[in-house]
Amino acid sequence: MSTVPYKRLNKDDAVVLLVDHQTGLISLVQDFSPNEFKNKVLALADVAKFFNLPTILTTSFESGPNGPMVPELKELFPDAPYIPRPGQINAWDNEDFVKAIKATGRKQLIIAGVVTDVCVAFPTLSALAEGFDVFVVTDASGTFNQTVQQASWARMTAAGAQLMNWFSVACELQGDWRNDMEGLANLLSQRIPNYRNLINSYTVLTAK
């Protein structure tokens, strides 16, 4: 196994892809509890917003049983490219989606979606094959059960994808707390209750 150079997330080269977080499809997700999953997906959206990363949203058949994209996501990114796919299961097969990505000129793809083994894995494998670096946000991607989760992780890892989580994405993009200490603290406080508790304990004690 040869050592590869550290591919480090860079906020000037990263784009966020949110794939098929739709109100119907999410009922298929069972590898996370509903509250944990919702919180992680919104945390990733917060991260995209906080770092002003170009963000691209796509859905599969949103007028059918799959349902519309979760409204919170749509509201957070009113000006983002939004691509309701007419039928392609692999978002990478949709020209508009790939065009939107290439239009950003960026090479680092941060991807999350529902379900992991299809809506995340397929575009991940396609993008890797075209030379992009792909960072899968494992805790903002959901699927049927642990077996499917683990199998799809193995397939993506073998193809060169890097498995991350929303918190490590946030921290790698931030690099240094001093870039915006209060901003990052606010972000973490919204999504990590134990961190919020630390801040609240601290604030009370230091305010004395």
Where in the sequence numbering do the catalytic residues fall?
Answer: 119
- Helix, strand or coil for residue 22? strand
b/e per residue 4-16 (b: at least 16 CB within 10 A): eeeeebebeebbb
Q: Are 91 and 122 in contact (CB under 8 A)?
A: yes
> What DSSP character marks residue 120?
I
- Residues that contact a copy of itself, how many (by CB under 8 A): 92
CB of 84 to a copy of itself, least distance (A): 12
Cα(116)–Cα(153) distance, rounded to whole angstroms? 8
Interaction residues for a copy of itself, span 146-165 (CB under 8 A) = 147-148, 150-155, 157-160, 162-165
Pattern of binders to a copy of itself over 60-99, x per CB under 8 A? Answer: xx--xxxxx-xx--------------xxxxx--x------
The answer to the question of residue 50 lying near a copy of itself (CB under 8 A) is no
Pattern of binders to a copy of itself over 116-145, x per CB under 8 A? Answer: -xx--xx--xx-xx--------xx----xx
CB of 25 to a copy of itself, least distance (A): 8
CB of 142 to a copy of itself, least distance (A): 10
Cα(159)–Cα(13) distance, rounded to whole angstroms? 21
Cα(33)–Cα(178) distance, rounded to whole angstroms? 34
Cα(199)–Cα(208) distance, rounded to whole angstroms? 14
> What DSSP character marks residue 81?
-
Interaction residues for a copy of itself, span 5-44 (CB under 8 A) = 5-6, 8, 23-24, 26-28, 30, 32-39
- In the complex with a copy of itself, which residue's Cβ is closer, 50 or 61? 61
Cα(176)–Cα(179) distance, rounded to whole angstroms? 6
Interaction residues for a copy of itself, span 167-206 (CB under 8 A) = 167-168, 171-172, 174-179, 181, 185, 192-202, 204-206
